[in-house]
Structure 1
Amino acid sequence: MLNRITALFPLWALLGAIFAYIQPDLLIPFKGYIVPLLIIIMLSMGLTLSFRDFTNVLTYKYAVGAGVLLQFTIMPLVALMISLFLGLDESLMIGMVLVGTVAGGTASNVVCYLAKGDVALSITMTATSTLLGVVFTPLLAELLIGQKVDIPMAVMIWSLVKIVLLPVSIGLLINQLIGSKITRIAPVLPLISMLSIVTAIMIIVALNAKQFAQLGPLIALAVVLHNSTGLLLGYICCRLMGFNKTICRTISLEVGLQNSGLATALAMKFFTPLSALPAAIFSVWHNLSGALLAGYWSQREEAPSTPCSDKE
């Protein structure tokens, strides 16, 4: 029952966004809850991780290295290029770049399973990029748009430590210490994360309701181009590197599906509500595109893969 509810995440997100657009005044007072909601999501993520997810980096060292490289090059650069090509204003460009510079999202792990990818690799990559993103996200934002916008890099790093590193670490430690008890509530954790993300999306849409009719289609186009390019280039680059198709699927999803909830929180905390709109739309779209791609890949023959090999 819970799996069915969480599987319909794009629907709940869409319905929530429509409600927020129609009744924004009901949600605007909750704008201060976005960061706490993200902390809940990060804690839930930590509760699903173990130290093995990090030691697996040694097992998948080539794939993880390639994935991290593609994650923090393709998505940031494509975000900036699309923003410039479509002529997005400063606030929207900030939002696009933030989506591009954050780590891979936890949704990639579920979609990877549905797409017959390597789930262990997906979890390892998400965990690794999440920790690296504490430094890479503000650093890349500074490099790409620092000349146009004042990026409070040091303050942003400290915020990411509090919003990402500490909750994930606490969840990881709790899982290691009392993992048997955490197993009992494990099925509920995806639901908690989903509700938190949907609520954040609703708040963002409510805050931008007056501008949504005018800017919504343009931002949606930017988001679709960004996500699609990340998925496509992630796969193609991995094939050119010689990885088997299973690994390519996994890295493609890890590159294309972003932690847009984190981008939302950063935009709200350091910039403007409008800057958070690309991340809110990305949250809806990347789950839909991921599900469609997973359905396509799941019908195709799966490439052979072994736990200790990431090359063909």
Structure 2
Amino acid sequence: MFSRYYSACFMIVALSACIWPQPWLIIQPFFFWLLAIIMVLMGLTLSWSDFLNILKQPGSVCLGVVLQFLVMPLLAWLISLALGYPTEWLIGMLLVGVAPGGIASNALTYLAGGNVALSISMTLVSTLLSLFMTPLLTGCYLSTVIHVDKTGMLLSIAQIVILPVVVGLLAVHMLGEPRIRKVRCWLPGLSLGLIMIAVSTLVALNADNLNRLSWTLLLGVLIHNAFGLLSGYLLARCLGQPTANARAIGIEVGTQNTGLAMALALKHFTPLATLPGAIFSVSQNIFGVTLARYWRRNDQQSDEPL
């Protein structure tokens, strides 16, 4: 039920954080721990069979991950240059672009009637690869703009993403699938709630900047998000992927781990660089749910007898 109204709840809570930021700033010292908990929950939703799914459809997984790390950074860079963004916004856009797939993509793929196993596999692979790909791509794109501490970013990703996911996987192994299965149905909703709290905390941190938000930044983030979703889907279809796979790939490409992007911006750059991630967090949920429901509605109409 919560996931059904998640986009509306997300907007209301984020708006409240922008209008009344002080209560949310209490969470700021625990922000990185909050992200780590979210990634532990992601690990708890996985099983060793998910790794076997990667071997069952390696071509589709590789295609989705390649598009993830190719399309989104390039789009972020081109949009930022075209709209003449200042350095802080450029950094924030790039960090969103080089982030791995977001865990919300799995729920959105299910809602869209896509290949959920493929979505989980792509999220898992892109998350693990982010340990190297995110610092590498950030350095490549931003080397002429600002110094990038690639080693520091690698260590941050290991602490915030990789280690917690491994902890979650080990917990599944030690406690056993039957015990974890009893609570697994609650984990997606809990993860979404924690993501909403994390993003709202950063919205509160940027409340003054958001009140003076430029329409050009909003436009750029919306274009980035929409083009990511559509280009991922269309490129997958053009390369021969079936509809269910293409939907999973499109959603995976256009749904980013914005929590990680904002955490890296906050730790290694400036709070202003978290703005694109905060906006993208809201837009990807609205766009993702809208597109998923459009696809599912088309499926239902096509199943109706003539």
TM-score by length of structure 1 reads 0.92
- Residue of structure 2 in register with 1:135 after alignment: 132
- Residue of structure 1 in register with 2:193 after alignment: 195
- Residue of structure 1 in register with 2:101 after alignment: 104
- Residue of structure 1 in register with 2:284 after alignment: 286
Amino acid in structure 2 at the alignment position of 1:87: G
Q: Summarize the Cα distance change of 1:202–1:155 in structure 2 as closer, same or farther, 3 Å threshold.
A: same
Shift of 1:176: 2.2
8 Å CA contact retained: 1:54, 1:128: no
Amino acid in structure 2 at the alignment position of 1:84: L
* Residues 1-312 of structure 1 mapped to structure 2, 5 A cutoff: 4-178=1-175, 179-215=177-213, 217-301=215-299
Counterpart-to-counterpart distance in 2, 1:95 and 1:176? 37
Question: What are the Cα deviations for residues 129-186 of structure 1, in whole angstroms up to 9, with x where unaligned?
Answer: 1100111011100001122111110111011111111100110111122222222222
Counterpart-to-counterpart distance in 2, 1:7 and 1:137? 31
8 Å CA contact retained: 2:68, 2:253: yes
Question: What are the Cα deviations for residues 216-247 of structure 1, in whole angstroms up to 9, with x where unaligned?
Answer: 53322111100111111111211221111111
Amino acid in structure 1 at the alignment position of 2:296: S
Counterpart-to-counterpart distance in 1, 2:120 and 2:292? 16
Gaps spanning 5+ residues in structure 1: where? Answer: 303-312
Amino acid in structure 2 at the alignment position of 1:252: G
TM-score by length of structure 2 reads 0.94
Counterpart-to-counterpart distance in 2, 1:41 and 1:102? 15
Counterpart-to-counterpart distance in 2, 1:246 and 1:202? 33
SS in 1 for 2:185: helix
Counterpart-to-counterpart distance in 1, 2:23 and 2:224? 31
SS in 2 for 1:147: coil
- Residue of structure 2 in register with 1:309 after alignment: none
Amino acid in structure 1 at the alignment position of 2:91: I
8 Å CA contact retained: 2:80, 2:93: yes
Shift of 1:213: 2.3
Counterpart-to-counterpart distance in 2, 1:243 and 1:29? 47
Counterpart-to-counterpart distance in 2, 1:231 and 1:100? 12
Shift of 1:250: 1.0
8 Å CA contact retained: 1:208, 1:273: yes
Counterpart-to-counterpart distance in 1, 2:131 and 2:44? 19
Deviates more, 1:125-134 or 1:171-180: 171-180
8 Å CA contact retained: 2:109, 2:251: yes
Gaps spanning 5+ residues in structure 2: where? Answer: 301-306
Q: Summarize the Cα distance change of 1:135–1:74 in structure 2 as closer, same or farther, 3 Å threshold.
A: same
Counterpart-to-counterpart distance in 2, 1:188 and 1:237? 34
Counterpart-to-counterpart distance in 1, 2:189 and 2:284? 18
Counterpart-to-counterpart distance in 2, 1:30 and 1:280? 16
8 Å CA contact retained: 2:104, 2:192: no
8 Å CA contact retained: 1:16, 1:201: no
- Residue of structure 2 in register with 1:306 after alignment: none
8 Å CA contact retained: 1:23, 1:206: yes
Question: What are the Cα deviations for residues 105-148 of structure 1, in whole angstroms up to 9, with x where unaligned?
Answer: 11111111111110111111111111001110111000011221
Identical counterparts, % of pairs: 43
Counterpart-to-counterpart distance in 2, 1:67 and 1:190? 22
Counterpart-to-counterpart distance in 2, 1:210 and 1:301? 44
SS in 1 for 2:241: coil
